[in-house]
Amino acid sequence: MKKESWRELPIGGLNVHPGNSVSNLTGTWRSGKRPEFIPENCIQCLFCWLYCPHLAIQVKDGEVVGINYDYCTGCGLCAEECPAKKKAIVMVKEEIALQEGGGQ
């Protein structure tokens, strides 16, 4: 996605593009940690889906099947709220690949 310069941005910094929640990949905010889904521990309570602020928990036919890293910010709420005896979501360290800037 092309970044707009300050000359192109609307006054007030409003995001005036309809459907921007789909095109803005909030997963690019993630740094350091990401959730890992462990299906064999999952009791399908859907708490993670309920609490995720970015709808990044993937559900198919009423069951959690994974995590959409394009939108996951790594906030850790899903892992925190997972009530399974053996956690079905754990936060793991993530290598960060800088895509722009950083002088590399």
Closer residue to ligand SF4 (CB): 23 or 29: 29
For 68-100, give the DSSP string.
Answer: -TTT-----HHHHH---SS-SEEEEE------S
**Is residue 26 within 8 Å of residue 68, measured between CB atoms?**
no
Q: Which residues bind ligand SF4 (CB under 6 A)?
A: 35, 42-48, 51-52, 54, 56-57, 64, 67, 72-78, 82, 84, 88-89
Q: How far is the CB of 79 from ligand SF4 (least distance, A)?
A: 7
Closer residue to ligand SF4 (CB): 7 or 60: 60
Name the residue type at position 33: K
**Is residue 76 within 8 Å of residue 89, measured between CB atoms?**
no
Closer residue to ligand SF4 (CB): 15 or 63: 63
